[in-house]
A and B are shown apart, each in its own frame.
Chain A
């Protein structure tokens, strides 16, 4: 059996720290979702909430990818492969956004009337 060639105590400490950091990020994610004071913009989910929620998720994902998946010190080939994949995945998401390009929808937007019946919602 080959002998141990490396001291892993530092690596283990890093892994433990990352685990704790991920736990903390999870708490932040839940807090952002559950506590109204942490909401951005008008009450209810808004693009701002999405941005913040997904940023936290991206931080977590980066930690997992960089430390646990060893992407912080990996061979060039893997980086090239992942770059290629990310470009394709990005296109995949973006391509759905083109679904919104429909002139008829614009017509609908202009027909919206907000004035009249808004008043009826006021407390009676």
Chain B
């Protein structure tokens, strides 16, 4: 079937159909991204410094990412240039050039996505933050998964009416403990469950039995009630307890745990573990202290300094703050104005790099290879505060701080739930990334399978490249705005 107006323009619109189609599509895309830019504006204007969720302002958050973002901008611009050159190549009937330019564009897209992955990986796996009870925030790295609660378990008590106990996923890798049923369905008491699969099949089987028995007991109860008698209460045992032959260690996910003490840990799904708490302290390497949420008069007595317990780090923070304060005061004094609260509570006066040197030998205290690795991560970062602390920008390894769990209000990686900024950052850049991948696939199709069309009707291929290119330029346009909004301003 011949599709009309693929090459020649329609008389009423003056356009070939694909072009009108892609512009309509781009119009809908403008509305899609417009909605998200609108959300950005809303969140950004909604930030009340010191009152609300602080917006990570400017470069201190993105110390390592500005350059990645800038490289990505250049990569996308290069790819945009590539697309128009590919289009010209078809117009000039130079197939070879067309191929080269199109592959160049697709390669640019791949580079863009790789850089994006580096960025995402860094935010999700190498940047953590802890908000303490007085709302002071430490940014850095949580060492050795110590956000988890380390516990040595002996007995597990769980219900037979719901899903598999969540604790199974928190068991340390390696051996599954040999469990012995010490309480539960009578006929199974004493059973040994030596592997995870044995445990699971035992659990599912007894859950089925329990449900069947419960249904029968209810039936009996209702029947007795209907007869006018006083029915005997329903007694079907719905819980079980298993005991491990030897204590097993587990890393409890705090999000799944309701409460824990020195001897027990209660999961939200009703499972109770008895045993011994090994440690629930968070081991943290601090890189930056953020006081935006602490009133200026309380900052010197903040919990964060108790946790850091290093006077030189504290001193360097406030030295830098005074310096910046004077700069700001001078600016406003010249104008005969008072410094607005917004500025006092903002990032400029309240977020600084902080280095807590390791005690004694290199590598912290007893964390072995892990700590060396993290120390390397730290020292590779540039440190604008180095001048204030008298360092050269490259410090030695950082001390691993012990943060008591009761001082922690919130902790997490720099993923979407870390704050409004990260939520909108991930939403917009991920949606943009999907567009990059989609556009690159379309362009790749046009070059890999385009030869036949090129030989048949090169103008048709040129039109296809043009509309594919229109989409690609649109993706570039979005990034042109995303880059300054997310990375620089």
Contacts and interface: CB of A to CB of B under 8 A. Distances in A.
B297 A120 contact: yes
Interface in B57-94: 57-59, 66, 70, 73-74, 77-78, 80-81, 83-85, 88, 91-93
Range of interface residues on chain A?
35 or more
Contacts of B129: none
A89 B31 contact: yes
Contacts of A70: 466
A65 B19 CA distance: 15
Interface stretch (B133-141, B392-400, B468-476): B468-476
Given A45-B57, A96-B38, A121 B480 contact: no
B85 A57 contact: no
Interface string B335-350: 0001111011011110
Given A8-B92, A64-B480, A85-B27, A121 B322 contact: yes
Contacts of B326: 123
A2 B85 contact: no
A95 B38 contact: yes
Contacts of B39: 96
Contact of B66 (A33, A60, A61, A124): A33
Contacts, number: 185
A42 B348 CA distance: 10
Interface of A: 1-4, 6, 8, 11-12, 15-16, 18-19, 22-23, 26, 29-30, 32-34, 42-45, 49-50, 53-54, 56-57, 60-61, 64-65, 68-70, 75-78, 81-82, 84-86, 88-89, 92-93, 95-97, 99-100, 112, 114-115, 117-118, 120-124
Contact of B58 (A8, A44, A100): A44
B78 A29 contact: no
Contacts of B202: none
A1 B455 contact: yes
Contacts of B327: 43
A12 B297 contact: no
Contacts of B410: none
